[in-house]
Amino acid sequence: MNVSFIGKPLTRVDGGAKVTGAARYAADFNQPGQLYAVIVSATVGLGRVTEIASTEVERMPGVVALITYRNAQKLPYLPHKGVIDPAVGERLHVLQDDQVHFYGQPVAIVVADNLDHAERAAAALRITYVAKRPLVDHADRIIERIAPKSSDGSRGDADVAVTQAPVMIDETYEIARENHNPMEPHATIAAWSGDRLTLWSKSQYLVNEQAEIAAVFGLPVENVEVICPFIGGAFGTSLRTWPHVTLAALAARQTGRTVKLVLTRKQMFFTTGHRPRTLQRIALGATPNGKLTGVIHEGTGETSRYEQFTEALTAATAYLYSCPNVRTQYRLAQLDTSTPNHMRGPGEASGIFALESAMDELSYKLGIDPIELRRRNEPRRDEAENKPFSSRSLMQCYEFGSERFGWARRTPEPRSMRDGRLLIGLGAATATYPAYHAPASARVRLLADGLAEVEAAASDMGPGTYTSMTQVAAEFLGLPPEQVRFSLGQSAYPQTPSHGGSWTMASVGSAIRAACVEAQAQAASRVVADSGSPVFEGSVDDLEWSEGRLRRRGDASPGMSYRDIIARTGTPVEAEGSAQRDPEVAERYSMHSFGAVFAEVAIDPDVGTIRVRRIVGAYGIGRVVNPLLARSQCTGGMIGGIGMALMERTVLDPRDGRPVNAHMADYLMPVNLDIPKLEALFVDEVDPHVNPLGVKGLGEIALVGTAPAIANAVFHATGKRVRSLPIHIEDVL
């Protein structure tokens, strides 16, 4: 193959549709005669509904139905656990009884002829509760902690090693609860036709939404269709199927009409997942020359009463550095809240904040440059799994990044760098994330006009799946990208895993490659079976594809294009392909991405304002399919990291668990003025083991490392170690 589209900075194939408004998001799929539903959310944190003043509301203008547990259809809620759902526990059953498990739980749904009528009626509905005080603060000692399955790991004796170490630190770190807050709210339009259901619904995992709703309503999976061609941001919040999807479908079924349901910004804080608050302890022991002798990482996340949500909070600590004695422990505090879920670099982003803050603290205690400290503890192999890394470019990332960032100009002493009256701080931190690869499939159709249609039930929440998959198909078919039409966002397309975990390119990309190879094989066998073709009765093995043309190996003739081949028979070639990681290779290697993140902050010593001035991230992510998109993903992740470090925090009222800042005015997120110059660099990394494309995946790792780099820069600027995110002005004064 002598053309190459992989690695090229192709601009977004869907860019025009997005900027002209032609791209349709879930709530844009308005259907004729649809009704509008509004959820009424519980205003107590724990208890039960005792009275519902339904009559007045039912008589209000335009109201078609008021559905509560009293008149809601009983739903079968058949078992279904997708890989994205917590392994332990049972999903929330909405409107099936009078119980309130957390503040904001849906307790009623109003359906009306227009949104205004539905909102007015929902606001007028009076519900009386018997309420108890919920437990929502996981630092509270009376809260029960549970040990999720296989949550602990250990090698050597870390406790002894840390206690006996010549140099040690032992600190606790905290990260606040955060909510995703993408620009596009969750939305579902549900339309029944007999016992078939169509959902236009915001989803990062269409085939799971299809299976989940089928299970909830007791339908065959093929009776449910989910459509979602565009997503206005998500990064975890649309991985699972939340109760509003069930409610939209239920309301549509009970009214016999199509129903549209869009969550309010406030409701986006109730039942659509969140980053769990975490409390972590890191203890490090080291020799005076900076060799780690012991590492302890104990972390507690939080979950709901009805499900055990787990994330990889402590996992990376086991493999990140060389150390003979390591112990990790993960616990969950069960709270009266809704179930958390994956959010922007879940697990690793939180866990690495603690570990990389601690490593920075250790570097000052030892008087060793923070990057040099990482170098002295760089492992030759994954010491937790006791196997080699498929590739690991952490030190190259540090070298590349520190040169670009200008680390050399940093003076080690805290408070030693200034710009006028501002304190300047430079900090660094390691990033890592597993290189996952899940089974996926795709379909390729070669059409008579020379176009190739490629389909997979994938999503594109912003990283550029439309574009990058077009490149992959173009590459393996040998066609220019303009001749490839990639479609996603339909559950009827070949199955893919969730659009998350940074595995879309590895998984769906490999499936597309397989489908392209299969399509070419079918086209070739058609040609050798064709009595009019120059290679009739030849062997397929004697043929080769080059730039989308088939010819005899070594033959200088122009060969046959797909169009030529299809024209001879008149029927398009259609092929499916699927791919998954070779289990033997998976067994043999430890596969992760690595990166080094650098941050510069400027802090006003009088008023404590913290400004990030610059971030440089250098990443080893295997092959980069599209450097423009990759850079965009990384800068987006860095912005999330700035939010995590300095702004984002959901505050719960301890009396009832109400998120008190459930709106964009008080839930702070970075805006343009908060964003400095961001640079993403990629080291040349060839990884022959991860998958045929050589990609490790990108997305989550961009979140990891940014917050600790900023926190470490804040310490360098001020001499104040802040171990609790987000860092506030008061923390540095």
Give the footprint of ligand MOS on this chain (CB under 6 A).
204, 235-236, 239, 342-344, 346, 500-501, 700
Min dist CB 625 to ligand MOS, Å, is 18
Minimum distance, C-beta of residue 511 to ligand MOS, in the bound complex (Å) = 18
The number of angstroms, rounded, from the C-alpha of 516 to the middle of its chain's C-alpha atoms is: 27
Q: Give the Cα separation of 111 and 247 in Å (integer).
A: 11
> In the complex with ligand MOS, which residue's Cβ is closer, 138 or 180?
180
Nearer to ligand MOS by Cβ, of 236 and 290: the residue is 236
Task: Indicate the pairing of strand 307-308 with strand 292-303.
Answer: unpaired
**Nearest CB to ligand MOS, comparing residues 345 and 617:** 345
Residue number, 346 or 494, with CB nearest to ligand MOS: 346
Closest contact distance (angstroms) between CB of 635 and ligand MOS is 17
Q: Tell me how far apart the alpha carbons of residues 602 and 594 are, in angstroms, rounded to a whole number.
A: 27
Dist CA 598 CA 588 (whole Å): 32
**Sign, Cα dihedral of 31, 37, 38, 39:** negative
| Single-letter amino acid, residue 463 | P
Exposed e or buried b per residue across 229-264, where buried means at least 16 C-beta atoms within 10 angstroms of its C-beta: bbbbebbbbbbbbbbbbbbbbbbbbbbebbbbbbbb
Active-site hit among 178, 298, 600, 700: 700
Q: How many CB atoms lie within 10 A of CB 417?
A: 19
d(CA 129, CA 469): 51
* Per-residue H/E/C for 169-212: EEEEEEECCECCCCCCCCEEEEEEECCEEEEEECCCCHHHHHHH
Closer residue to ligand MOS, CB minimum distance, 125 or 231: 231
Q: Which residues pair with 82 in a beta bridge?
A: none
Task: State in angstroms the smallest separation of the CB of 106 from ligand MOS.
Answer: 23
Q: Are 105 and 92 in contact (CB under 8 A)?
A: yes
Rounded Cα gap, residues 511 and 507, in angstroms: 6
Of 346 and 509, which CB lies nearer to ligand MOS in the complex structure?
A: 346
Q: Say how many residues make up the chain.
A: 733
Rounded least distance, CB 385 to ligand MOS, Å: 22
Smallest separation, CB 486 to ligand MOS (Å):
20
Check if the beta carbon of residue 680 is closer than 8 Å to that of residue 621.
no
Closer to ligand MOS by CB, 29 or 433: give it: 433
Structure tokens at 532: 């009019």
In whole angstroms, the minimum distance from the beta carbon of 235 to ligand MOS comes to: 5
Going by C-alpha positions, the residue among 295, 279, 386 that lies closest to residue 335 is: 279
Q: How many CB atoms sit inside 10 A of residue 93's CB? A: 16
Nearer CB in complex with ligand MOS: 346/708: 346
Alpha carbon distances (Å) from 20 to 24, 304, 402, 520: 11, 41, 40, 36
Name the phi and psi angles at 165, rounded to 5: -70, 140
Question: Is the Cβ–Cβ distance between 127 and 291 less than 8 Å?
Answer: no
| H-helix segments, 219-366 | 243-255, 317-320, 348-366
State in angstroms the smallest separation of the CB of 469 from ligand MOS. 17
How near is the Cβ of 238 to ligand MOS at its closest, in Å?
A: 8
Residues 6+ apart with CB under 8 A from 544: 550, 551, 552, 553
Q: Phi/psi of residue 372, each to 5°?
A: -60, -35
Closer residue to ligand MOS (CB): 302 or 518: 302
d(CA 655, CA 237): 26
Looking at beta carbons, which residue is closest to ligand MOS?
500
Rounded CA gap, 329 and 616, in Å? 32
**How many CA atoms within 13 Å lie on the side-chain side of 271?**
30
Cβ contacts of 133 within 8 Å, gap of 6 or more: 45, 46, 655, 656
Q: How far apart are the first and last CA of the chain?
A: 61
Which pairs count as long-range contacts for 380-385, CB under 8 Å and 24+ apart, including other chains? Answer: 380/322, 381/590, 382/319, 382/590, 383/155, 383/318, 383/319, 383/322, 383/323, 383/324, 383/326, 384/153, 384/155, 384/318, 384/319, 384/326, 385/319, 385/590
Alpha-helix runs per DSSP H in 186-338: 206-217, 243-255, 317-320
Residue number, 239 or 286, with CB nearest to ligand MOS:
239
Cβ distance to ligand MOS smaller for residue 316 or 566: 316
User: Which of 501/657 has CB closer to ligand MOS?
Assistant: 501
Residue type present at position 589: Y
**The two structure tokens encoding residue 222:** 């093929």
Write down the least CB distance from residue 508 to ligand MOS, Å: 14
Q: Which is nearer to ligand MOS, 177 or 374 (CB)?
A: 177
Cβ 619 vs Cβ 595: under 8 Å: yes
Q: Which amino acid is at 123?
A: A
547 is catalytic: no
Q: Which active-site residues does the annotation give?
A: 700
